Amino acid sequence: MNYVCIRWKSYTNLDFDQRESVREELRLKLESHGVRFLEYCWVWDENDRCLLMAGSYERMEDARQWTRSLESMGFQITVRTSLPGDESNERYLKFLTVNIEYRTRNVQ
């Protein structure tokens, strides 16, 4: 599986509310380009950098098409072949899923 992730700002030394502000900033930037997800799957890497999983694709060519589209909007992209739950990466990556429903209730 190929996971397309948008690379965003660092979480280093940020508390939960500050991290949520970083995530909200990325959500708003995506929306300014007409992109909205039903579910936001947040991942952070070994450098404590915010990543948003923007899609998962069996074929690398499909991942490349979405990657090119996101890059044309000015986003930095990384494609990973594994995510949390793989024992080899578990200590580096974690999930935090935020649903649109949660966002709608709390950001009005």
pLDDT digits (tens, 9 = 90+) for 58-67: 999 889 999 9
* Secondary structure class of 58 (helix, strand, coil): coil
Q: What does the pLDDT look like over 19-51, one tens digit per residue?
A: 999 999 999 999 999 999 999 999 888 788 899
Residue 101 is given by DSSP the state H
pLDDT at 45: 80
d(CA 96, CA 40): 8
Closest CA to 39 of 104, 99, 103, 107: 99
- Residue 80: beta bridge partners? 3
Instruction: Say what the pTM is.
Output: 0.74
**Number of domains within the chain:** 1
- Which residue pairs from 88-94 have beta carbons closer than 8 angstroms and sit at least 24 positions apart in sequence? 92/45, 92/46, 93/43, 93/44, 93/45, 93/46, 94/43, 94/44
What mean pLDDT comes out for the span 91-97?
Answer: 39
Under a CB-based contact definition with an 8 Å cutoff, are residues 45 and 85 in contact? no
The parent domain of residue 37 ranges over: 2-106
